[in-house]
Protein backbone atom coordinates (compact mmCIF):
# COMPACT_ATOMS: atom_id res chain seq x y z
CA UNK A 1 0.00 0.00 0.00
CA UNK A 2 1.38 3.44 -0.84
CA UNK A 3 1.03 6.24 1.67
CA UNK A 4 -1.55 7.79 -0.65
CA UNK A 5 -3.91 4.92 0.12
CA UNK A 6 -3.25 4.89 3.84
CA UNK A 7 -5.51 6.40 6.46
CA UNK A 8 -8.88 5.80 7.98
CA UNK A 9 -12.01 5.53 5.93
CA UNK A 10 -15.30 6.68 7.30
CA UNK A 11 -18.43 5.36 5.61
CA UNK A 12 -20.71 6.57 8.37
CA UNK A 13 -21.47 10.24 8.93
CA UNK A 14 -20.33 11.07 12.49
CA UNK A 15 -23.78 12.34 13.51
CA UNK A 16 -22.99 12.75 17.19
CA UNK A 17 -20.55 15.63 16.65
CA UNK A 18 -22.09 17.60 13.88
CA UNK A 19 -21.85 21.14 15.16
CA UNK A 20 -19.43 23.96 15.59
CA UNK A 21 -20.70 27.12 17.29
CA UNK A 22 -19.06 29.57 14.87
CA UNK A 23 -21.10 31.44 12.23
CA UNK A 24 -18.01 32.12 10.08
CA UNK A 25 -14.62 30.46 9.60
CA UNK A 26 -12.13 33.32 9.71
CA UNK A 27 -9.11 31.70 11.34
CA UNK A 28 -7.86 28.73 13.33
CA UNK A 29 -7.48 31.22 16.19
CA UNK A 30 -11.29 31.14 16.61
CA UNK A 31 -11.55 27.33 16.83
CA UNK A 32 -10.81 25.15 19.83
CA UNK A 33 -9.43 21.61 19.73
CA UNK A 34 -12.89 20.05 19.76
CA UNK A 35 -14.09 22.23 16.83
CA UNK A 36 -11.01 21.13 14.88
CA UNK A 37 -11.69 17.47 15.67
CA UNK A 38 -15.35 17.87 14.64
CA UNK A 39 -14.31 19.29 11.25
CA UNK A 40 -11.67 16.59 10.68
CA UNK A 41 -14.05 13.77 11.67
CA UNK A 42 -16.70 15.01 9.26
CA UNK A 43 -14.06 15.49 6.56
CA UNK A 44 -13.16 11.78 6.89
CA UNK A 45 -16.72 11.00 5.79
CA UNK A 46 -16.40 13.40 2.87
CA UNK A 47 -13.13 11.80 1.71
CA UNK A 48 -15.17 8.66 1.01
CA UNK A 49 -18.04 10.63 -0.55
CA UNK A 50 -15.70 12.58 -2.83
CA UNK A 51 -14.15 9.35 -4.11
CA UNK A 52 -17.59 8.02 -5.14
CA UNK A 53 -18.01 9.65 -8.51
CA UNK A 54 -21.60 8.42 -8.91
CA UNK A 55 -22.69 10.28 -5.79
CA UNK A 56 -25.29 13.01 -6.18
CA UNK A 57 -25.40 14.88 -2.91
CA UNK A 58 -28.27 17.30 -2.53
CA UNK A 59 -27.34 18.65 0.90
CA UNK A 60 -26.81 22.20 -0.38
CA UNK A 61 -29.25 22.05 -3.31
CA UNK A 62 -30.81 25.45 -3.89
CA UNK A 63 -27.95 27.27 -2.18
CA UNK A 64 -25.75 29.75 -4.06
CA UNK A 65 -22.14 30.13 -2.94
CA UNK A 66 -19.99 33.09 -3.97
CA UNK A 67 -16.31 32.22 -4.40
CA UNK A 68 -14.68 35.67 -4.27
CA UNK A 69 -11.00 35.29 -5.15
CA UNK A 70 -9.28 38.67 -5.33
CA UNK A 71 -5.82 37.06 -5.19
CA UNK A 72 -4.56 34.30 -7.49
CA UNK A 73 -5.31 30.68 -6.62
CA UNK A 74 -5.42 27.24 -8.21
CA UNK A 75 -5.95 24.66 -5.46
CA UNK A 76 -8.01 26.61 -2.95
CA UNK A 77 -10.41 28.15 -5.46
CA UNK A 78 -10.90 24.96 -7.42
CA UNK A 79 -11.41 22.82 -4.35
CA UNK A 80 -13.98 25.19 -2.78
CA UNK A 81 -15.79 25.15 -6.13
CA UNK A 82 -15.60 21.37 -6.32
CA UNK A 83 -16.62 20.91 -2.66
CA UNK A 84 -19.69 23.12 -3.11
CA UNK A 85 -20.71 21.35 -6.32
CA UNK A 86 -20.19 17.90 -4.78
CA UNK A 87 -22.72 19.01 -2.13
CA UNK A 88 -25.22 20.14 -4.76
CA UNK A 89 -24.79 23.93 -4.45
CA UNK A 90 -24.50 26.40 -7.31
CA UNK A 91 -21.25 28.38 -7.32
CA UNK A 92 -20.48 31.84 -8.66
CA UNK A 93 -16.76 32.44 -9.10
CA UNK A 94 -15.63 36.05 -9.05
CA UNK A 95 -12.11 37.39 -9.54
CA UNK A 96 -10.74 40.91 -9.89
CA UNK A 97 -10.54 40.54 -13.67
CA UNK A 98 -13.84 41.44 -15.23
CA UNK A 99 -15.21 43.03 -12.04
CA UNK A 100 -15.95 46.66 -11.11
CA UNK A 101 -12.94 46.56 -8.75
CA UNK A 102 -10.96 47.46 -11.88
CA UNK A 103 -13.21 50.53 -12.22
CA UNK A 104 -12.18 51.62 -8.71
CA UNK A 105 -14.95 50.03 -6.64
CA UNK A 106 -13.85 49.41 -3.04
CA UNK A 107 -13.87 46.04 -1.27
CA UNK A 108 -16.56 47.35 1.08
CA UNK A 109 -18.87 48.31 -1.77
CA UNK A 110 -18.15 45.01 -3.53
CA UNK A 111 -19.11 43.10 -0.38
CA UNK A 112 -22.25 45.19 0.22
CA UNK A 113 -23.30 44.48 -3.37
CA UNK A 114 -22.77 40.74 -2.95
CA UNK A 115 -24.68 40.77 0.35
CA UNK A 116 -27.67 42.53 -1.23
CA UNK A 117 -28.04 39.51 -3.54
CA UNK A 118 -28.44 37.24 -0.48
CA UNK A 119 -25.86 34.50 -1.12
CA UNK A 120 -25.85 31.45 1.17
CA UNK A 121 -22.06 31.40 1.79
CA UNK A 122 -19.26 33.77 0.77
CA UNK A 123 -15.69 32.50 0.45
CA UNK A 124 -13.12 35.27 0.27
CA UNK A 125 -9.43 35.54 -0.58
CA UNK A 126 -7.91 39.02 -0.44
CA UNK A 127 -4.45 40.49 0.11
CA UNK A 128 -5.49 42.54 3.15
CA UNK A 129 -4.93 41.15 6.65
CA UNK A 130 -8.33 41.18 8.39
CA UNK A 131 -10.26 41.39 5.09
CA UNK A 132 -12.23 38.22 5.89
CA UNK A 133 -13.21 39.66 9.26
CA UNK A 134 -14.33 42.87 7.55
CA UNK A 135 -16.34 40.77 5.10
CA UNK A 136 -18.05 38.88 7.92
CA UNK A 137 -19.25 42.20 9.33
CA UNK A 138 -20.87 43.15 6.01
CA UNK A 139 -22.19 39.75 4.88
CA UNK A 140 -25.16 38.11 6.60
CA UNK A 141 -24.34 34.60 5.33
CA UNK A 142 -21.41 32.54 6.70
CA UNK A 143 -18.01 33.81 5.48
CA UNK A 144 -15.01 31.51 4.97
CA UNK A 145 -11.51 32.98 4.90
CA UNK A 146 -9.59 31.47 1.97
CA UNK A 147 -6.51 33.54 2.82
CA UNK A 148 -6.30 37.14 4.10
CA UNK A 149 -2.85 38.51 3.29
CA UNK A 150 -0.25 37.03 5.58
CA UNK A 151 -2.68 36.44 8.47
CA UNK A 152 -4.63 33.17 8.20
CA UNK A 153 -5.69 30.43 5.79
CA UNK A 154 -7.72 28.16 8.07
CA UNK A 155 -8.92 25.54 5.59
CA UNK A 156 -5.30 24.95 4.48
CA UNK A 157 -4.26 24.20 8.07
CA UNK A 158 -7.29 21.90 8.46
CA UNK A 159 -6.43 19.97 5.29
CA UNK A 160 -2.81 19.71 6.41
CA UNK A 161 -4.03 18.37 9.77
CA UNK A 162 -6.32 15.85 8.06
CA UNK A 163 -3.44 14.70 5.84
CA UNK A 164 -1.15 14.26 8.86
CA UNK A 165 -3.82 12.61 11.01
CA UNK A 166 -4.64 10.06 8.30
CA UNK A 167 -0.98 9.26 7.72
CA UNK A 168 0.08 8.96 11.37
CA UNK A 169 -3.35 8.01 12.80
CA UNK A 170 -2.98 10.87 15.32
CA UNK A 171 -1.92 14.50 15.66
CA UNK A 172 -0.99 14.75 19.32
CA UNK A 173 2.69 14.07 19.93
CA UNK A 174 3.80 14.63 16.33
CA UNK A 175 6.70 16.96 15.56
CA UNK A 176 6.33 19.04 12.40
CA UNK A 177 9.15 21.21 11.03
CA UNK A 178 8.16 24.18 8.84
CA UNK A 179 10.86 25.35 6.43
CA UNK A 180 10.80 28.59 4.45
CA UNK A 181 9.12 31.97 4.40
CA UNK A 182 7.28 31.74 7.70
CA UNK A 183 7.13 35.53 8.08
CA UNK A 184 4.79 36.05 5.10
CA UNK A 185 2.96 32.72 5.17
CA UNK A 186 -0.70 32.63 6.24
CA UNK A 187 -0.41 28.84 5.89
CA UNK A 188 2.32 28.75 8.54
CA UNK A 189 0.41 31.14 10.80
CA UNK A 190 -2.77 29.02 10.68
CA UNK A 191 -0.77 25.82 11.14
CA UNK A 192 1.09 27.21 14.14
CA UNK A 193 -2.26 27.98 15.83
CA UNK A 194 -3.53 24.50 14.98
CA UNK A 195 -0.38 22.70 16.16
CA UNK A 196 -0.55 24.45 19.53
CA UNK A 197 -4.22 23.53 20.01
CA UNK A 198 -3.73 19.90 18.92
CA UNK A 199 -0.54 19.08 20.87
CA UNK A 200 1.81 19.04 17.87
CA UNK A 201 5.41 20.14 18.48
CA UNK A 202 6.73 22.53 15.84
CA UNK A 203 10.08 23.86 14.72
CA UNK A 204 10.43 26.84 12.38
CA UNK A 205 13.41 26.94 10.03
CA UNK A 206 14.53 29.61 7.58
CA UNK A 207 16.84 32.55 6.92
CA UNK A 208 16.62 35.20 9.64
CA UNK A 209 14.86 37.71 7.37
CA UNK A 210 12.01 35.23 6.76
CA UNK A 211 11.47 34.20 10.40
CA UNK A 212 8.95 36.34 12.32
CA UNK A 213 10.03 38.06 15.50
CA UNK A 214 8.74 36.22 18.53
CA UNK A 215 8.76 32.83 16.80
CA UNK A 216 11.28 30.45 18.24
CA UNK A 217 13.03 29.53 15.00
CA UNK A 218 16.40 28.33 13.76
CA UNK A 219 18.47 29.12 10.69
CA UNK A 220 20.06 25.70 10.91
CA UNK A 221 18.16 23.20 8.72
CA UNK A 222 19.75 20.13 10.34
CA UNK A 223 18.95 21.29 13.89
CA UNK A 224 15.35 22.14 12.98
CA UNK A 225 14.71 18.84 11.17
CA UNK A 226 16.00 16.69 14.03
CA UNK A 227 13.23 14.38 15.31
CA UNK A 228 10.64 15.75 12.88
CA UNK A 229 7.91 13.34 11.76
CA UNK A 230 6.90 15.64 8.92
CA UNK A 231 8.41 18.60 7.11
CA UNK A 232 6.19 21.34 5.71
CA UNK A 233 7.98 23.23 2.94
CA UNK A 234 6.89 26.75 2.01
CA UNK A 235 7.73 28.88 -1.00
CA UNK A 236 9.13 32.40 -0.66
CA UNK A 237 6.15 34.76 -1.03
CA UNK A 238 7.83 37.14 -3.47
CA UNK A 239 4.63 39.13 -3.97
CA UNK A 240 4.63 40.10 -0.27
CA UNK A 241 8.28 41.10 0.13
CA UNK A 242 8.83 44.76 0.96
CA UNK A 243 12.60 44.56 0.47
CA UNK A 244 14.90 42.65 -1.83
CA UNK A 245 16.21 39.43 -0.26
CA UNK A 246 19.88 39.18 0.62
CA UNK A 247 20.25 35.82 -1.19
CA UNK A 248 19.56 34.33 -4.62
CA UNK A 249 17.29 31.35 -5.35
CA UNK A 250 20.43 29.23 -5.92
CA UNK A 251 21.78 30.22 -2.47
CA UNK A 252 18.43 29.43 -0.94
CA UNK A 253 18.28 25.95 -2.48
CA UNK A 254 21.82 25.24 -1.25
CA UNK A 255 20.95 26.24 2.31
CA UNK A 256 17.30 25.24 2.71
CA UNK A 257 16.06 23.37 -0.39
CA UNK A 258 14.59 20.07 0.79
CA UNK A 259 16.01 16.99 -0.94
CA UNK A 260 15.65 13.29 -0.13
CA UNK A 261 19.14 13.35 1.36
CA UNK A 262 18.30 16.25 3.65
CA UNK A 263 15.01 14.69 4.68
CA UNK A 264 17.13 11.94 6.26
CA UNK A 265 18.10 14.54 8.92
CA UNK A 266 14.53 14.17 10.20
CA UNK A 267 13.08 10.94 11.61
CA UNK A 268 13.32 7.79 9.54
CA UNK A 269 10.30 7.66 7.18
CA UNK A 270 9.54 11.35 7.74
CA UNK A 271 7.15 12.74 5.12
CA UNK A 272 7.02 16.04 3.26
CA UNK A 273 4.11 18.44 2.77
CA UNK A 274 3.81 21.57 0.64
CA UNK A 275 0.68 23.74 0.28
CA UNK A 276 1.57 24.63 -3.31
CA UNK A 277 2.34 26.30 -5.59
CA UNK A 278 5.81 24.70 -5.61
CA UNK A 279 8.97 26.17 -7.02
CA UNK A 280 10.89 23.02 -7.85
CA UNK A 281 14.61 23.45 -7.41
CA UNK A 282 14.15 26.45 -5.10
CA UNK A 283 12.49 25.25 -1.86
CA UNK A 284 12.06 21.58 -2.81
CA UNK A 285 13.79 19.10 -5.06
CA UNK A 286 11.54 17.74 -7.84
CA UNK A 287 12.44 14.08 -7.14
CA UNK A 288 11.36 14.38 -3.50
CA UNK A 289 8.14 16.25 -4.37
CA UNK A 290 7.20 13.41 -6.76
CA UNK A 291 8.27 10.50 -4.53
CA UNK A 292 5.03 8.72 -3.48
CA UNK A 293 6.80 7.06 -0.55
CA UNK A 294 7.79 10.39 1.06
CA UNK A 295 5.55 13.10 -0.36
CA UNK A 296 1.98 13.77 0.84
CA UNK A 297 1.54 16.74 -1.49
CA UNK A 298 -1.09 15.13 -3.75
CA UNK A 299 -2.94 13.81 -0.71
CA UNK A 300 -3.08 17.36 0.68
CA UNK A 301 -4.86 18.49 -2.49
CA UNK A 302 -7.39 15.66 -2.21
CA UNK A 303 -7.97 16.37 1.50
CA UNK A 304 -8.65 20.00 0.58
CA UNK A 305 -11.91 19.04 -1.12
CA UNK A 306 -13.06 16.89 1.83
CA UNK A 307 -12.20 19.53 4.45
CA UNK A 308 -14.02 22.22 2.47
CA UNK A 309 -17.08 19.96 2.07
CA UNK A 310 -17.08 19.50 5.86
CA UNK A 311 -16.76 23.26 6.48
CA UNK A 312 -19.59 24.08 4.04
CA UNK A 313 -21.79 21.40 5.61
CA UNK A 314 -21.16 22.63 9.17
CA UNK A 315 -21.47 26.35 8.46
CA UNK A 316 -24.76 26.01 6.54
CA UNK A 317 -26.33 23.77 9.17
CA UNK A 318 -28.19 26.65 10.89
CA UNK A 319 -29.64 27.94 7.61
CA UNK A 320 -30.68 24.45 6.50
CA UNK A 321 -32.40 23.70 9.80
CA UNK A 322 -34.23 27.06 9.66
CA UNK A 323 -35.73 26.19 6.24
Q: Which residues bind ligand NCD (CB under 6 A)?
A: 75-76, 147, 153, 156, 186-187, 235, 237, 275-276
Nearer to ligand NCD, 119 or 149 (CB): 149
Nearer to ligand NCD, 77 or 166 (CB): 77
CB 134 within 8 A of CB 112: no
Nearer to ligand NCD, 153 or 166 (CB): 153
Contacts of 145 (CB under 8 A, 6+ apart): 24, 25, 26, 27, 124, 125, 132, 133, 152, 153, 154
Kind and range of the H or E run holding 300: helix 297-315
Phi/psi for 179 (5° steps) reads -120, 125
CB 229 within 8 A of CB 174: yes
Minimum separation from the CB atom of position 304 to ligand NCD (A)? 8
Nearer to ligand NCD, 27 or 147 (CB): 147
Minimum separation from the CB atom of position 274 to ligand NCD (A)? 9
Minimum separation from the CB atom of position 221 to ligand NCD (A)? 19
Minimum separation from the CB atom of position 28 to ligand NCD (A)? 14
- Distance between CA 191 and CA 64 in Å, rounded? 29
Minimum separation from the CB atom of position 303 to ligand NCD (A)? 12
**Crossing angle for the helix pair 75-86 and 154-168, to the nearest 10 degrees:** 80
Nearer to ligand NCD, 156 or 295 (CB): 156
Amino acid sequence: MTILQAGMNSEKKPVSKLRIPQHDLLGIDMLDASDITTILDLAEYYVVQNRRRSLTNVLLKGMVIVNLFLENSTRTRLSFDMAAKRLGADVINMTTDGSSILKGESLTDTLKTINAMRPDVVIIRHRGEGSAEDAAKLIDAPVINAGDGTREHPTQALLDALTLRRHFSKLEGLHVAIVGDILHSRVAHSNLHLFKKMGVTQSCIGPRELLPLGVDGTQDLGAGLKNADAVMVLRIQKERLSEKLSFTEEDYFKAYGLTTERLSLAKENAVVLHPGPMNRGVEIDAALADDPTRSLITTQVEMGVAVRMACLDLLTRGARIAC
